[in-house]
Amino acid sequence: MKPWSRRLGRALTVLVGVALGVALLVFFVVNRQAPERLEASAAATPVRVIEARPLAFRLEARGHGVARPAETWQAVANVPGRVVERHPELESGTLLPEGTLLVALDPSRYELAIAEAEAELSSLAGELAQLRAEEDNTGRLLALEKEALALAEQELSRIERLADSGSVSTSRRDEQRRSTLGQRQAVASLENTLALVPARRAVLEAQRERAAVRLAQAREDLADTRFVAPYDLRLGEVEAERHQFVASGQRLFEADSLAAAEVEAHVPIDMMRRLLGAILPDEPFDPGLDLDERLDLSAVDAELSLAGAEGVGWTGRLVRVASGLDPSTRTVRAVVRVDEPYRDIRPPDRPPLQRGMYVRTRLTASSPQPRLTIPASAVHQGEVWLANAEQRLERRDVSVAFTQGDLAVIEAGLEPGERVVVDDLPAAIAGMALTTRRDEALEARIAARARGERP
């Protein structure tokens, strides 16, 4: 075949192929179908919601402190003496009942002082009796002497009349005058003796009072030689030993009362302020009244728990709020008392509340009015997420009055009956569609926690 024939054949082949391709393209364009438009609906996010509602609320204040006995006896010697008796169980940590003789000092010198004072009182009583007898005798003698003086005066008057008439000599008159003067002197002497009796009696009575004081002091000193437990106690540090001579003012031992224990709990100011506000009366403040007189402390329940020991606790009562704030922590010092801390003890599961125990304190009181309460986790940087009537997400700014544990009390921005989203959404977009499910179990737990019930 000639070359031009071959080139013509290839050209025809190319033209046929191009024509076929154009024909196919025209066929597809003419017969194409428009794409179907599918409306894709946005997927709703499932969430849990609770209904916001005012709940009966129990305000709570938490603190911590160190336990101490409500009463401590520092046994100090008021008088010097040698220890002649010491209780065989007088050791640190021993429990002893009321009335137990713990330590006795040598009483001999004080018994001698009592005997001396009693003897002096007896002597003075005898002298006072003698003085009364002397006063009676002198009074009777004075009466007789006065009668004799009256007779002497009458006789002197008669003799002077006779002497004036010359019937009696001058010497007889002078003799009667001397006799009358002697009688007058006797009467004056007895009157002086009676006048001195009150002064002598006052001196003797003063001496008797002084002797009575010495006797009372000697008896007090004798009583101070015996150290008897004034109540059921637990011994602390003991320094007294048998045959030891102790000086006045020297400490012998220390003992703690078993009747009650106290904890001075350090509570943050804001917590304590809310708690005290719930028990303050509504009437205006009277500055003449003490704060403790205005506070109904019996409305506050107190629970103590031993730090580091789960399940070990005691029930107490708030007895007072100490004056001023703690200088180091700037906290309120609330004093909680536990009566009979040694009752029903079962060591180690239930030990007594003893000195030095570090305990946590929980004070609670009922709020005067219900509080709008939601979980604290439902508040996100000052706002809550709500499910509105159209099942759409709504973001709302709220004002939180305070938080207590895992609860938040809402002051403003939320109305009762609104549905609060309690789930943590990865992307909380306002207006997003929601599928809600009311969590009634969570609502019940919130109500229980608001009432102060522990889970």
Percentage of the chain surpassing pLDDT 70? 87
34-43, 171-180, 188-197, 291-300: least confident range: 34-43
- Would residue 320 count as lying in a domain? yes
The single-letter code of the amino acid at 71 is E
The predicted structure's pLDDT at residue 276 = 85
The single residue listed with the structure tokens 């929601």 is 434
Residue 196 CA to residue 188 CA, distance in Å, equals 12
Please tell me whether residues 339 and 357 are part of one structural domain. yes
Please tell me whether residues 418 and 354 are part of one structural domain. no
Please tell me whether residues 113 and 219 are part of one structural domain. yes
The predicted structure's pLDDT at residue 8 = 59
Domain that includes residue 374, residue range: 47-57+370-450
What number is the average pLDDT over the span 235-241? 92
Please tell me whether residues 344 and 399 are part of one structural domain. no
Maximum Cα interatomic distance, the chain, rounded to a whole number of Å? 233
Burial of 285 (0-12, 13-18, 19+ CB in 10 A): exposed
Total number of domains in the chain:
4
Q: What is the DSSP letter of 346?
A: B
- For helices 170-223 and 108-165, angle between their N-to-C axes, nearest 10 degrees: 170
- Would residue 16 count as lying in a domain? no
- Would residue 331 count as lying in a domain? yes
Torsion of CA 148, 153, 158, 161, to 10 degrees: 170
Q: 400-431: string of b/e by CB count within 10 Å (b at 16+)? A: beeebeebbbbeeebeeebbbbbbeeeebeee
The predicted structure's pLDDT at residue 66 = 94
Please tell me whether residues 279 and 302 are part of one structural domain. yes
Contact 28, 417 (CB under 8 A): no
CATH number (domain holding residue 84): 2.40.50.100
Please tell me whether residues 266 and 201 are part of one structural domain. no
Question: What is the CB neighbour count within 10 angstroms for residue 273?
Answer: 12
What number is the average pLDDT over the span 247-270? 93
- Would residue 195 count as lying in a domain? yes
- Would residue 31 count as lying in a domain? no
What number is the average pLDDT over the span 221-248? 93
Residue 170 CA to residue 160 CA, distance in Å, equals 9
Question: What is the CB neighbour count within 10 angstroms for residue 396?
Answer: 16
Please tell me whether residues 234 and 99 are part of one structural domain. yes
Q: What is the DSSP letter of 298?
A: G
Q: What is the DSSP letter of 44?
A: P
- Would residue 271 count as lying in a domain? yes
| Domain closes at, from 237, 257, 277 | 257
| pLDDT above 70: residue 24 | no
Question: What is the CB neighbour count within 10 angstroms for residue 98?
Answer: 13
| Domain closes at, from 305, 334, 366 | 366
Residue 439 CA to residue 454 CA, distance in Å, equals 20
User: Taking the CA of residue 171 as centre, how many other CA atoms within 13 Å lie in the half-sphere pointing to its CB?
Assistant: 0
> Nearest 5 degrees, angle CA 181-CA 185-CA 186?
120
| pLDDT above 80: residue 4 | no
Please tell me whether residues 268 and 250 are part of one structural domain. no
Residue 249 CA to residue 270 CA, distance in Å, equals 46
Please tell me whether residues 299 and 345 are part of one structural domain. yes
Token readout for 103 is 């330590």
pLDDT digit string, tens, across residues 164-175:
777 777 788 778
- Residue 49 sits at φ, ψ, to 5 deg, of -130, 155
| pLDDT above 80: residue 387 | yes
Please tell me whether residues 239 and 251 are part of one structural domain. yes
What are the DSSP calls for 106-123, one per residue?
--HHHHHHHHHHHHHHHH
- Would residue 295 count as lying in a domain? yes
Question: What is the CB neighbour count within 10 angstroms for residue 374?
Answer: 25
pLDDT digit string, tens, across residues 160-214:
787 777 777 778 877 888 888 888 888 898 889 888 889 989 999 999 999 999 9
Q: What is the three-class DSSP state of 56?
A: coil
- Asked if omega into 348 is within 30° of 0 (cis), the reply is yes
CATH number (domain holding residue 273): 2.40.30
Residue 440 CA to residue 452 CA, distance in Å, equals 19
Please tell me whether residues 125 and 200 are part of one structural domain. yes
CATH number (domain holding residue 442): 2.40.420.20
- Would residue 402 count as lying in a domain? yes
What are the DSSP calls for 288-351, one per residue?
TS-HHHHS-GGG-EEEEEETTSTT-EEEEEEEEEEEEE-TTT--EEEEEEEE-TTTT-BTTTB-
The single residue listed with the structure tokens 């154009």 is 22
Please tell me whether residues 358 and 287 are part of one structural domain. yes
Cβ contacts of 46 within 8 Å, gap of 6 or more: 434, 435, 436, 437
Contact 360, 305 (CB under 8 A): yes
| pLDDT above 90: residue 330 | no
What is this structure's pTM? Answer: 0.69
